[in-house]
Amino acid sequence: MRSYSGLILLPTFEERLEYLALNGVVGDETFGYDRYLNQMLYHNREFWMSIRDQVIIRDNGCDLACADREIPKGCKIIVHHIEPITVEDIYERSPKVYGLDNLVSTTLSTHNAIHYSNVKSRMPSAMVERKPNDQTPWR
Residue 78 phi, psi (nearest 5): -105, 130
CA distance 29 to 106: 18
**Residue whose CB is less far from Zn ion, 134 or 138:** 134
**Residue whose CB is less far from Zn ion, 33 or 69:** 33
Stretch that binds Zn ion, among 46-54, 57-65, 73-81, 128-136 (CB under 5 A): 73-81
State in angstroms the smallest separation of the CB of 80 from Zn ion.
4
With 0-12 / 13-18 / 19 or more C-beta atoms within 10 angstroms meaning exposed / middle / buried, residue 63 is buried
Residue 80 interacting with Zn ion (CB under 5 A): yes
**Residue whose CB is less far from Zn ion, 16 or 80:** 80
Contact by Cβ (8 Å): 25, 105: no
List contacts with Zn ion (CB under 5 A).
80
